[in-house]
């Protein structure tokens, strides 16, 4: 009942278009992440959903109701800010309780000291206190209720900000890069807590981040935005394995996907230098193709004819695996290969090796960056039996 | 041989700390040497004059005379029995409270108005700041004209509505308040600039948070975010305005000369007439001491409040 529908939203500041005709359907109870490089409009979109920013054109529906004319406080959404935006002069208790006090107590009842003597005020205050206690218990903040925000650590502040959002039981949770001010260890922990929270309360979460790890690990669906446009929507796995644009392929995945210049030969095969990667149908000879291979889909080939020549420039040892930085002979940019420790360790720096893509693990894009769908039966050319042994 | 070796080692062990100690004392001496000029100037230019005023207040010294005698608290006793002193204190306190309340609240209001409108912000800021830079003695001429009972624009303007103006500066019941008005006019710009600085320091996220948390009105936003977060600024502005309005003198001297019938007699004006008209320097020094005590108390209040409370990390 509390899905969010975004209908042809546009937003311009002065002459600049920040959002270009954005359409999106967010399902009730879904954890949806908006991801993109800074300046792509993801935060603006979130602020438009919240009502903090007014769209230039288009319409927003929350739970089937058009909310374009509603003030932020009446849209039944809660927001967690990157800076936490806690009220510094209030205790944790007052911070969490504020959405309730401001709604349920009128100005006079809220008045310091005198307010509580106005009939009815005390009952409401007790009720609010109970709700604050409940929320504090869920978030483990019981012992911090009398502290001021400046006496809290980053993670605790973040939790208070979540508590302030939670206390109102909103239909939709909006989170604007809530973890980016935390250190790495705490970020992992808070990530788990937010996932847990989403599972427990089951309302719609819209999460903005530029961190692909957060997007991949937390979301049901991820929306990739670039330059004010949505360029792909899908589950984390879809985005990683089946990017529709080379921009998505490079944005998602770390280390970055390798892009090599391929060319279609006369016989319809696609080659990087001497190395024939694939066979392509429907592309004239001479067409340039961007051949993208993820680092884990590269393997070492002993057979010189079944790979392209590279010089190993350096290793990066990560404990569980190894990154090899290879300089291809073809003059392409450095290629990164992710290899299991025991296999790749024996290769020395400046050694010449031949590498190749694993079968069916190549992503092809045309010169405009659009994905080229490969035939389902695409295979490596040449004899099927290979005796490539790593390192 | 090993014994000799040990001895030298022992000697070295004793000598090392001694050398360190002397190095430390040299460092300390150097530090004092560096501090000396500043300390001297501090005493000579700031603390010295203040102390000599306090000392003078216990004497019967008259300006120009070669001798003086210590007369204990006689000056203070005389002062506390003098009606002029009490009139002067009352007038000063009235002036200070009216100007502080007026200029602080107006300054805050204007600052918030300017802050809420992005266009022409700089122009507005400059316009409101102009009175601060204007020489009050020169501007007093303009005010004398505006307030003139016969041809002043103010009375003519009031006449349009059928209200009969008065001789603002010569009427006992309006003179002090008129000076308050001019005081406010001058102080508003300064306070506004301080409040603008305070307002820009409030993170915009807080306005967003309070909008989502349920405030629909500007008033809610003011109560929940603006006013509490401006606490430190407000404290500073109030104290500064207090101290500045305690020092009111030029408008009084130029426009009313303390009159009519001492209706605008303020502390600094009394001090001036005792010291420079009647040359009773000892008595004037006693008045100055009272003035210094007021300012000192205000400064202490400010220091304590800044250290104790109104500071959000």
If we measure between CA atoms, which residue out of A130, A132, A126, A127 comes closest to residue A144? Answer: A132
Average pLDDT rounded to a whole number, residues B215-243? 85
Three state DSSP letters for chain B: CHHHHHHHHHHHHHHHHHHHHHHHHHHHHHHHHHHHHHHHHHHHHHHHHHHHHHHHCCECCCCCCCCCCECCCHHHHHHHHCHHHHHHHHHHHHHHHHHHHHHHHHHHHHHHHHHHCCCCHHHHHHHHHHHHHCCHHHHHHHHHHHCCCCCCHHHHHHHHCCCCCCCCCCCCCCHHHHHHHHHHHHHHHHHHHHHHHHHHCCCHHHHHHHHHHCCCCHHHHHHHHHHHHCHHHHHHHHHHHHHHHHCCCHHHHHHHCCCCCCCCCCHHHHHHHHHHHCCCHHHHHHHHHHHHHHHHHHHHHHHHHHHHCCCCC
Nearest CA distance, B112 vs chain A (angstrom): 19
At residue A389, the pLDDT reads 36
Query: What pLDDT does A378 receive?
Result: 44
Q: Determine whether A143 is exposed, middle or buried from the number of CB atoms within 10 Å of its CB (0-12, 13-18, 19+).
A: exposed
Kindly determine whether residue B212 and residue A72, on different chains, have CB atoms separated by under 8 Å.
yes
Residue found by looking up tokens 């006079």 in the block: A108
- Nearest-by-CA chain B residue for A176: B205
pLDDT in tens, B36-62: 999 999 999 988 888 888 888 888 887
SS3 A137: helix
| pLDDT above 60 for B162 | yes
The pLDDT of residue A359 is: 77
- Band (pLDDT 50/70/90 cuts) for residue B312 is low
Q: What distance separates the 2 farthest-apart alpha carbons in chain A? A: 90
CA-nearest residue of chain B to A106?
Answer: B220
Distance from CA of B209 to the nearest CA of A (A): 6
Q: Do B205 and A107 touch (CB under 8 A)?
A: no
- Which pLDDT value is given to residue A390? 34
Residues of A in Cβ contact (< 8 Å) with B203: 83, 85
- pLDDT of the residue at B104: 93
Per the CB < 8 A criterion, the answer to whether A58 and A9 are in contact is: yes
Q: What is the pLDDT of residue A207?
A: 93
Residues of B in contact with A81 (CB under 8 A): 205, 208-209
Measured in residues, chain A has a length of: 391
A89: contact with B, CB 8 A cutoff = yes
CB A336 within 8 A of CB A323: yes
Peptide bond into B260 cis (omega under 30): yes
Architecture of domain A4-241: 3-Layer(aba) Sandwich (3.40)
Superfamily (CATH H level) for B74-307: MetI-like (1.10.3720.10)
φ, ψ at A2 (rounded to 5°): -125, 45
Query: Within a 10 A sphere around the Cβ of B180, how many other Cβ atoms?
Result: 23
Of A387 and A159, more confident: A159
Rounded average pLDDT over A348-370: 85
Residues in A touching B119 (Cβ below 8 Å): none
* Mean pLDDT, residues B260-265 taken together: 80
Chain B's closest residue to A173, CA to CA, is B212
Q: Does residue A78 sit at the B interface (CB-CB below 8 Å)?
A: yes
In this prediction, residue B310 carries a pLDDT of: 53
pLDDT interval class at A47 (50, 70, 90): very high
Residue A123 token pair: 């009952």
Architecture of domain A255-385: Beta Barrel (2.40)
A49 pLDDT band, cuts 50/70/90, is very high
A81 vs B208: CB contact, 8 Å cut-off?
Answer: yes
Beta carbons of A73 and B212 less than 8 Å apart:
yes
- Enumerate helices (H) and strands (E) in chain A, giving the number of each: 10, 20
Nearest Cα to Cα of residue B208 among A176, A235, A67: A176
Equal CATH topology for A4-241 and A255-385: no
Residue B309 Cα, gap to closest chain A Cα (Å): 10
Taking the CA of residue B200 and the nearest CA in chain A, the distance in Å comes to 15
Q: Is the pLDDT of residue A352 over 80?
A: yes
Distance from CA of A251 to the nearest CA of B (A): 28
Asked if residues A73 and B188 have their Cβ atoms less than 8 Å apart, the reply is: no
What does the radius of gyration of chain A's CA atoms come to, in whole angstroms? 27
At residue A295, does pLDDT exceed 80? yes
> Which of A121-125, A133-137, A330-334, B241-245 has the least mean pLDDT?
A330-334
Report CB contact under 8 Å: B231, A89.
Answer: yes
Find chain A residues with C-beta within 8 A of B212's C-beta.
Answer: 50-52, 72-73, 77-79
pLDDT, tens digit, for every residue of A157-191?
988 999 999 888 889 999 999 888 888 888 888 89
Using a pLDDT cut of 90, give the percent of chain B over it.
12
SS3 A177: coil
Q: Which residue has the higher pLDDT, A225 or B268?
A: A225
User: What does the DSSP 8-state code read for residue A40?
Assistant: S
Q: What is the ipTM of this complex?
A: 0.79
Minimal CA–CA distance to B71: which of B271, B285, B268? B285
Chain centre distance of CA B161: 38
Measured between CB atoms, does A81 come within 8 Å of chain B?
yes
Q: Which residues of B touch A (CB under 8 A)?
A: 203, 205-206, 208-216, 219-220, 223-225, 228-229, 231, 312-313
Is the distance from CB of A81 to CB of A145 less than 8 angstroms? no
């Amino acid at each position: 009942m509390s899905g969010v529908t975004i209908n042809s939203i546009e937003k311009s500041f002065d002459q600049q278009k920040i959002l270009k005709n954005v359409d999106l359907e967010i399902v009730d109870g879904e954890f949806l992440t908006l991801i993109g490089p800074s300046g792509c409009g993801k935060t603006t979109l979130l602020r438009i959903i919240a009502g903090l920013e007014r769209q230039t054109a288009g319409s927003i529906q929350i739970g089937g109701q058009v909310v374009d004319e509603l003030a932020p406080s009446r849209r039944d959404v809660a927001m967690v800010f990157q800076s936490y935006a806690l009220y510094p002069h209030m205790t944790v208790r007052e911070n969490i309780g504020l959405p309730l006090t401001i709604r349920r107590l009128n100005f006079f009842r809220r008045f310091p000291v005198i307010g509580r003597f106005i009939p009815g005020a005390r009952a409401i205050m007790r009720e609010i206190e109970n709700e604050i206690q409940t929320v504090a218990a869920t978030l483990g903040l019981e012992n911090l209720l009398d502290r001021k925000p400046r006496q809290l650590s980053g993670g605790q502040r973040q939790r208070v900000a979540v508590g302030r959002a939670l206390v109102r039981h909103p239909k939709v949770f909006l989170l604007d890069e809530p973890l980016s001010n935390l250190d790495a260890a705490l970020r992992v922990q808070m990530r788990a807590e937010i996932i847990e929270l989403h599972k427990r309360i089951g309302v719609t979460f819209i999460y903005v981040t530029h961190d692909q790890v957060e997007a991949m690990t937390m979301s049901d669906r991820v929306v990739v935005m670039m330059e004010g446009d949505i360029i792909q929507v899908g589950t984390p796995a879809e985005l990683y394995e089946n990017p529709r644009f080379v921009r998505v392929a490079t944005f998602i995945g770390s280390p970055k996907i390798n892009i090599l210049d391929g060319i279609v030969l006369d016989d319809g095969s696609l080659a990087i230098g001497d190395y024939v990667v694939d066979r392509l149908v429907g592309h004239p000879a001479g067409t340039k193709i961007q051949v993208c291979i993820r680092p884990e889909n590269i393997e070492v080939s002993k057979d010189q004819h079944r790979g392209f020549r590279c010089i190993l420039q350096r290793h990066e040892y990560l404990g569980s695996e190894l990154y090899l930085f290879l300089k291809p002979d073809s003059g392409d940019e450095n290629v990164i290969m992710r290899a299991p420790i025991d296999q790749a360790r024996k290769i020395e720096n400046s050694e010449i090796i031949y590498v190749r893509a694993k079968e069916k693990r190549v992503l092809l894009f045309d010169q405009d960056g659009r994905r080229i769908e490969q035939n389902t039966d695409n295979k490596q050319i040449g004899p099927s039996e290979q005796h490539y042994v790593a390192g | 041989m090993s014994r000799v070796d040990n001895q030298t080692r022992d000697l070295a062990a004793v000598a090392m700390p001694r050398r360190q100690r002397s190095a430390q004392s040299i460092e300390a001496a150097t530090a004092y040497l560096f501090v000396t000029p500043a300390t001297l100037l501090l005493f000579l230019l700031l603390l010295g004059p203040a102390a000599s005023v306090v000392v003078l207040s216990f004497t019967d010294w008259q300006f120009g005379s070669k001798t003086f005698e210590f007369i204990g608290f006689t000056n203070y006793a005389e002062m506390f029995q003098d009606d002029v002193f009490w009139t002067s204190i009352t007038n000063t306190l009235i002036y200070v409270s009216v100007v502080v309340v007026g200029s602080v609240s107006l300054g805050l209001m204007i600052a918030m108005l300017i802050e809420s409108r992005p266009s022409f912000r700089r122009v507005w800021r400059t316009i409101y700041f102009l009175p601060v830079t204007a020489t009050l003695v020169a501007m007093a001429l303009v005010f004398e004209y505006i307030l003139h009972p016969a041809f002043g624009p103010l009375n003519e303007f009031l006449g349009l509505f059928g209200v009969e103006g008065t001789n603002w500066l010569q009427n006992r019941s309006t003179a002090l308040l008129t000076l308050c008005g001019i005081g406010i006019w001058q102080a508003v710009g300064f306070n506004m600039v301080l409040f603008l600085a305070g307002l820009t320091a409030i993170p915009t996220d807080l306005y967003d948070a309070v909008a989502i948390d349920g405030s629909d009105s500007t008033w809610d936003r003011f109560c929940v975010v603006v006013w509490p977060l401006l606490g430190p600024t407000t404290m500073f502005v109030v104290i500064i305005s207090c101290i500045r309005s305690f020092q009111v003198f030029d408008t009084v001297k130029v426009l009313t000369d303390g009159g009519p019938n001492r209706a605008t007699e303020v502390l600094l004006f009394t001090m001036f007439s005792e010291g420079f008209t009647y040359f009773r320097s000892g008595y004037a020094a006693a008045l100055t001491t009272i003035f210094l005590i007021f300012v000192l108390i205000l400064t202490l209040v400010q220091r304590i409040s800044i250290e104790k409370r109104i500071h959000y990390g």
